[in-house]
């Protein structure tokens, strides 16, 4: 449980010395971030060269306080992001910043009907999504994951049509 931004900054500052770190779990983090600080922290995590497993459990005041990394991590394969609800554009950018992701656990906002995903996500084999509504846009997302072998959907509302 980290509740001090200064503690978190000190931890992340030392990431440069953790070149062999493969697993990182940040759980139950209740810190008020400025957008610039959030971007710095997330980018530092994404820069870890051997990081393969990343679990981020942030409790932001606003969902928009989470910043999608603006760099790519070619090492992250397993990603679990809690308490952040991704809109379509954010999810799209998240996939672009983790091109080798194989397993993802995340929450997504209701995808617009008939939303088309702009590219295939061939690396994904396991996906667990928390969704409020299952739409044809969400189904289109799955169609762009040709190697998906395991899918778990947790729905917020139980009125599915089809």
What are the residue ranges of helices labelled H in 47-162? Answer: 88-97, 136-143
Longest dimension (CA), the chain: 51
pLDDT one-digit tens code per residue, 52-101 = 999 998 877 665 667 889 999 999 999 999 988 888 888 999 999 999 99
Give the total residue count for the chain: 162
Q: Which domains occur in the chain, in start order?
A: 5-155 (3.80.10)
Residue 152 pairs in a beta bridge with 128
Q: Name the helix (H) or strand (E) containing 53.
A: strand 53-58
Structure tokens at 158: 């139980």
Q: How many CB atoms lie within 10 A of CB 151?
A: 13
What integer is the mean pLDDT of 9-34?
83
φ, ψ for residue 85 (rounded to 5)? -105, 120
Task: Give the closest residue to 76 by CA, choosing from 54, 44, 104.
Answer: 54
Q: In the prediction, which pLDDT does 77 show? A: 98
Coil/strand/helix, residue 51: coil
**What are 108-156's pLDDT values in tens digits?**
887 878 888 888 999 999 999 998 888 888 899 999 999 999 999 998 7
């Amino acid at each position: 449980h980290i509740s001090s931004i200064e503690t978190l900054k000190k931890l992340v500052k030392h990431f440069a010395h953790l070149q062999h770190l493969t697993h990182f779990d940040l759980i139950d983090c209740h810190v008020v971030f400025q957008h610039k600080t959030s971007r710095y922290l997330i980018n530092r995590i994404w820069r870890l060269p051997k990081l393969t497993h990343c679990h981020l459990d942030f409790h932001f005041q606003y969902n928009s306080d989470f910043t999608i990394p603006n760099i790519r991590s070619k090492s992250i394969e397993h990603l679990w992001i809690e308490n952040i609800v991704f809109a379509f554009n954010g999810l799209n950018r998240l996939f672009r910043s983790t091109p080798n992701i194989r397993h993802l656990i995340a929450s997504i906002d209701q995808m617009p009907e008939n939303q088309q995903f702009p590219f295939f996500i061939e690396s994904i084999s396991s996906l667990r999504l928390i969704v409020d509504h299952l739409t044809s846009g969400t189904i289109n997302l799955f169609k762009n994951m040709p190697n998906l072998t395991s899918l778990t959907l947790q729905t917020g509302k139980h009125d599915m049509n089809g």
